[in-house]
Structure 1
Amino acid sequence: MTKLKLGPIEDDKPVKVTLELPAALHRDLVAYADILSRETGQAAADPVRLIVPMLVRFIAADRGFSKARQTSPSRVVGK
């Protein structure tokens, strides 16, 4: 069994976002969604729905961002 960084995708209210992705990145998202569906037993997720959890996980794991956010919260948008 493959150990992916993402778990099951939560069913959440969608927000409309327009974004252009390089074709290679889109192919990787499609492949990731396919593997994730096999690993979790869920129906194949729309690859676009992977973007938010991936970004959330990336930001949560970025120690430099976390440290900067704690030391100067007024400079970080959204804090």
Structure 2
Amino acid sequence: MTKLKLSVIPDDKPVKITVELPAAVFRDLQAYAEILAREKREASPPEPGKLIVPMVQRFMASDREFSKTKRRIHDT
């Protein structure tokens, strides 16, 4: 096995995925978007799908067990 100076090149291109959400979850996303627009005094709410990435990011960032396990896995 060769020892290259580069090991892993991060893939930072966006990845498009399709998910099916329960109708109740979609309605909650719509409500969240409306509340967000009202609080920011914006004319129209953001598209509900635009909320998913920041919500997932915040969820994962706040999950201590996930962060701890991820660090442990990457350190080995």
What is the TM-score of this pair, normalised by structure 2? 0.72
1:1-79 map, 5 Å: 16-42=16-42, 43-73=44-74
How many residue pairs get matched?
Answer: 62
Distance across 2 between alignment mates of 1:16 and 1:67: 27
Shift of 1:20: 0.5
Shift of 1:16: 3.5
The residue type paired with residue 30 of structure 1 is Q
Q: Structure 2 unaligned runs (5+)?
A: 1-13
Shift of 1:41: 2.1
The residue type paired with residue 50 of structure 1 is L
Over aligned residue pairs, what C-alpha RMSD do you find? 2.0
Q: Which one has more relative contact order, counting CA pairs under 8 Å at least 6 apart?
A: 1
Partner of 2:3: none
Q: Structure 1 unaligned runs (5+)?
A: 1-13
The residue type paired with residue 22 of structure 2 is P
Shift of 1:38: 0.5
The residue type paired with residue 33 of structure 2 is A
Quick one: percent identity of the two aligned structures?
A: 53
Distance across 2 between alignment mates of 1:61 and 1:32: 19
Distance across 2 between alignment mates of 1:47 and 1:15: 18
